[in-house]
Amino acid sequence: MSDEVIEAKNVSKWYGAFRALTDINLTVRKGERIVICGPSGSGKSTLIRCVNRLEAHQDGEITVTGIRLHNKMRNVAEVRKSVGMVFQHFNLFPHMTVLMNCMAAPMWIKGVPEGEARKIALKFLERVRIPEQANKYPAQLSGGQQQRVAIARSLCMEPAVMLFDEPTSSLDPEMVAEVLETVTGLARDGMTMVCVTHEMGFARAVADRVIFMDRGEIVEEGTPHDFFRNPQHERTKLFLSQILSH
Amino acid sequence: MLMLYHDTVESEVLVHKPWFIGCIFAIVLAVFLIFNVAGTTMGELLRPVIGDHAQVKFYSRIAIAFVIAAMFCLNLVLIGFVPLKIQIGIVWFELVLLFLSLFAAFDLSMPFIWANLPFLITQGVVTTVYVSAMSLLFASAIAIIGAIAKLSSNGMAYAIVSFYTSCFRGLPLLMQVYLIYMGLPQVGYVINAVPAGVLALSLCSGAYMTEIFRSGIASIDRGQWEASRSLGFGFALTMRRIILPQALPVIIPPMGNTFISMLKDSSLVSVLGVWELTYLAHSLGQPTFHTMEMLVTAAMIYWILSACLELVQSRIEDHFARSKKR
């Protein structure tokens, strides 16, 4: 078996007449850490949402952990089991405790017995360093804590790859650090991840590759060193000058 | 108890402000100066105040109005001193007392009521509760299926359900009861009175509740669906474990309304000759001209049943308030 976790070939997507993605080619190998950046509306979120089929692509093919996502495939659940996703707005289940948020998927999807699921949940809550909040409800937690719970919730399914959709964009500045630290910790432990973010410091420190998207296309792709020091395209330079100037 | 946003700024108790009490005093005084209560039960209670009112009518009226206004204001001021829960209790108690004294003025025959009450309960209440409970069950089932159909992208399902809700919300319930009872035999299916009543009630409340469920489900943030789907939950699991539990707190209050009105609307089934509360109240009282006795009794029983539903509703609301605490 090859070690390609995600493989996208010539992927295109339209919203009506608007072309959201244009011929995207992207390969993510096991253990790779990819950061996608770009101006708003450039299709970065759309791309990673296509990977776990929260959005459907219309052209090209996407293969995730060896399973090909094509238009008629109904069993997307298989893919979703092995792809974790963290959202900008956390999307925790507000009517469940933190612990239950983490136990739900293993119990209901994998059929893990309750005691076992509790152990798994506590293990990952420990890992995001909030085991003491286990019995609280999401509304009682700060934004940063909620996002860490959301990360733990995804980890409980022991996914092959984690997708982060602007995980820090709706957080107060002082909480960004704790979430990024958690994500960095995961990266260091070898988790395969694709992260859409505007945190360039994070990209520099963690990414194996940085991908710059604009108007639905991948404009430039490279190691953080090359990407930040020596951007090739005008659009990349403009974007970097805007984002790094302040 | 859930309240409006509770301001932390300390405010003075309204009923302890002299101008407010003054106003209330003036209003009550005026009301009792305009309406003469001297001849009524209330007037009789106040006889010590007025003495023999037959002689000086004008002064007795002033005396009554003054005493009532003073007592009313004193009551207000005193209630202002006690904690919230006790306030609620006292005011409820006083209103119930006032309400009952109103019925006391009807001069009802209590022995007649006591004699007929057991049958009214064992036959009438049981039938009413049975019809309502069955309808409640069916209506909920209809509502949830209807809501999902209405939110689905299936044109046929949407059309069927929107036609159904439009039709059953648009026809008077009484017509529906008649149409089902007398219309179904026309197409070859003879239906008994009770099933006809249950069918009409379920279809009608089901139509209202479809809209309640639909708006409740639609009020849940898209992100909840996305999070559930990204974890691999299927449609049914997401609905049952994630969406409905969150939609319920939104759905419960209007649903309580629908249930309560359905309980009372079950009285319309009486036109089919079903021996439920309203029908029995009517038929037991009429032969001996004790209609008022039976109607008041039935009214009280309806109220008690509704109050039970209210209680259940507030219990459920409390239950769901848990995850909102901070």
Give the closest-approach CA distance of A170 to chain B in angstroms.
14
Average pLDDT value over all residues in chain B: 88
> Does the distance separating the beta carbons of B230 and A54 come in below 8 Å?
yes
- Chain A contact set for B240 (CB, 8 A): none
User: Which residue in chain B has the smallest CA separation from A150?
Assistant: B227
Which among A80, A94, A150 is the nearest to B323, CB-wise? A94
User: Which residue in chain B has the smallest CA separation from A102?
Assistant: B231
- Chain A contact set for B324 (CB, 8 A): 139
Residue-wise pLDDT for B252-274, tens only, equals 999 999 999 999 999 999 999 88
Confidence grade of residue B326 (pLDDT, cut at 50, 70, 90): very low
Confidence grade of residue A44 (pLDDT, cut at 50, 70, 90): very high
Average pLDDT value over all residues in chain A: 91
| ipTM for the assembly | 0.92
Angle ∠(A161,A164,A170) on CA atoms, nearest 5: 165
- Is residue B281 within 8 A of residue B295, CB to CB? The reply is yes
User: Which of A6-15, B31-40, B126-135, B296-305 is the least confident region?
Assistant: B31-40
- Picking from B227, B134, B84, the residue whose alpha carbon sits closest to that of residue A80 is B227
Residue-wise pLDDT for A151-177, tens only, equals 999 999 999 999 999 999 999 988 999
Whether pLDDT at A189 is above 50: yes
Three-state secondary structure readout of B121-156: HHHHHHHHHHHHHHHHHHHHHHHHHHHHHHHCCCHH
- Is residue A157 within 8 A of residue A105, CB to CB? The reply is yes
Give the closest-approach CA distance of B318 to chain A in angstroms.
13
Whether pLDDT at A1 is above 50: no
Residue-wise pLDDT for A59-116, tens only, equals 899 999 888 887 665 678 888 889 999 999 999 999 999 999 999 999 999 999 999 9
Q: Which residues contact B213 (CB under 8 A, 6 or more apart)?
A: B143, B144, B146, B147, B247, B251
Report the pLDDT value the prediction gives residue A73, as an integer from 0 to 100.
58
How much of chain B, in percent, has pLDDT values that exceed 90?
56
Residue-wise pLDDT for A214-244, tens only, equals 999 999 999 999 999 999 999 999 999 888 7
Residue-wise pLDDT for B127-163, tens only, equals 999 999 999 999 999 999 999 999 988 999 999 999 9
- Picking from A143, A192, A132, A135, the residue whose alpha carbon sits closest to that of residue A167 is A143
User: Which residue in chain B has the smallest CA separation from A53?
Assistant: B230
What letter represents residue B95's amino acid? L
Report the pLDDT value the prediction gives residue B60, as an integer from 0 to 100.
77
